[in-house]
């Protein structure tokens, strides 16, 4: 049994569309493999100590909530960079994803600093990009998987030219509704616009994150493979969500 330590950033502020449900999925899937997930809230004013957590998680929120946490997050930037350099994994959703880039200009022109963990910038625009979304990813070379979820964002996220998107949009808007990219990935850091929450519909990504966190915890470079679970219901949830995105995923007319 391994204890996997998760640092949940700003659970009181960034939890739109029940994003904290992602933590519930990680906890159960770890437990089913005999591991324990120890989740600590990292709130406003709390310190981040590199090495203390194997996985950091930050959810989404409205511009208002993002504005409230952005300055505080900046104070944690150096420690988070160190933690990631030492191999910690990160999952950031929507508002949290935007703040992992260099900055986000909100809908009313507010400039929010980002912590530069991901090579991207975000500027809010109109119309909001709302709807079901389906993307295709290849986190492990040669292994293509899909992620299904729901997006609702004003922010247009532009990746740097050499940035690695999390996936290609099959249906829906993605980062900006034009590039065909969704999310961003840098090593063990993953940012995405997908809510739903994300992990109940995409169990394979939960396992990938647990594997990265375990690799950090055990101090090994290569992530161990978790044994598969039956996942009948989880696959069904994914299929329903994917079909919905294919049928009615958002697009600019
Ligand atoms: N406030 C941000 C936007 O509108 C993020 C929204 C969200 O987290 N759903 O782009």
Give the residue-averaged pLDDT of 224-235: 96
pLDDT recorded at residue 22 = 97
Q: Are strands 36-42 and 3-9 parallel, antiparallel or unpaired?
A: parallel
Give the residue-averaged pLDDT of 90-98: 98
Percent of the chain with pLDDT over 70: 100
CA gap 138, 182 in Å, rounded = 12
pLDDT recorded at residue 94 = 98
Ligand 1 pocket residue status of 154, Cβ below 6 Å? yes
Ligand 1 pocket test: pick from 10, 95, 182, 196 the residue with the most ligand atoms within 8 Å of its Cβ.
Answer: 95
List pLDDT tens digits, range 115-142.
999 999 999 999 999 999 999 999 999 9
Q: How far is the CA of 76 from the centre of ligand 1 (A)?
A: 21
- Sign of the dihedral through C-alpha 219, 34, 22, 7: negative
Whether the model clears a pTM of 0.95, i.e. scores above it, the answer is yes
Nearest atom, ligand 1, residue 17 CA: 9
Ligand 1 pocket test: pick from 121, 132, 153, 175 the residue with the most ligand atoms within 8 Å of its Cβ.
Answer: 153
Can 94 be counted among the known catalytic residues?
A: yes
- On average, the pLDDT of the chain sits at 97
pLDDT interval class at 29 (50, 70, 90): very high
CA gap 10, 43 in Å, rounded = 5
Can 137 be counted among the known catalytic residues?
A: no
pLDDT interval class at 222 (50, 70, 90): confident
Ligand 1 pocket residue status of 153, Cβ below 6 Å? yes
Q: How far is the CA of 128 from the centre of ligand 1 (A)?
A: 9
List pLDDT tens digits, range 142-189.
999 999 999 999 999 999 999 999 999 999 999 999 999 999 999 999
| pLDDT higher than 80, residue 8 | yes
Ligand 1 pocket residue status of 14, Cβ below 6 Å? no
pLDDT recorded at residue 75 = 98
CB atoms inside a 10 Å sphere around CB 186: 17
List pLDDT tens digits, range 240-252.
999 999 999 888 8
């Amino acid at each position: 049994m391994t204890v996997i330590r998760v640092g949940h950033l700003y659970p009181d502020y960034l939890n739109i569309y029940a994003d904290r449900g992602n933590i519930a999925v990680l906890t159960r899937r770890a437990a089913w493999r005999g591991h324990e997930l120890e989740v600590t809230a990292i709130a406003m004013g709390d310190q981040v100590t590199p090495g203390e957590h194997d996985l950091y998680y930050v959810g989404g929120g409205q511009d208002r909530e993002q504005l409230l946490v952005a300055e505080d997050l900046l104070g944690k930037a150096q420690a988070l960079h160190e933690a990631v350099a030492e191999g910690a994994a990160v999952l950031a959703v929507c508002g949290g994803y935007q703040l992992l880039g260099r900055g986000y200009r909100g809908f009313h022109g507010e400039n929010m600093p980002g912590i530069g963990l991901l090579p991207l910038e975000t500027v809010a625009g109109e119309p909001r990009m709302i709807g079901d979304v389906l993307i295709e990813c290849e986190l492990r070379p040669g292994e293509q998987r899909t992620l299904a979820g729901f997006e609702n964002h004003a922010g247009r996220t532009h990746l740097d030219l050499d940035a690695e998107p999390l996936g290609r949009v099959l249906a829906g808007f993605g980062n900006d509704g034009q590039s065909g990219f969704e999310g961003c990935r840098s090593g063990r850091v993953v940012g995405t616009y997908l809510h739903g929450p994300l992990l109940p519909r995409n169990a394979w990504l939960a396992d990938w994150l647990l594997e990265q966190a375990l690799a950090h915890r055990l101090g090994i470079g290569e992530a161990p493979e978790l044994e598969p679970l039956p996942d009948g219901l989880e696959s069904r949830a994914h299929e329903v969500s994917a079909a919905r995105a294919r049928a009615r995923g958002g697009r600019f007319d």
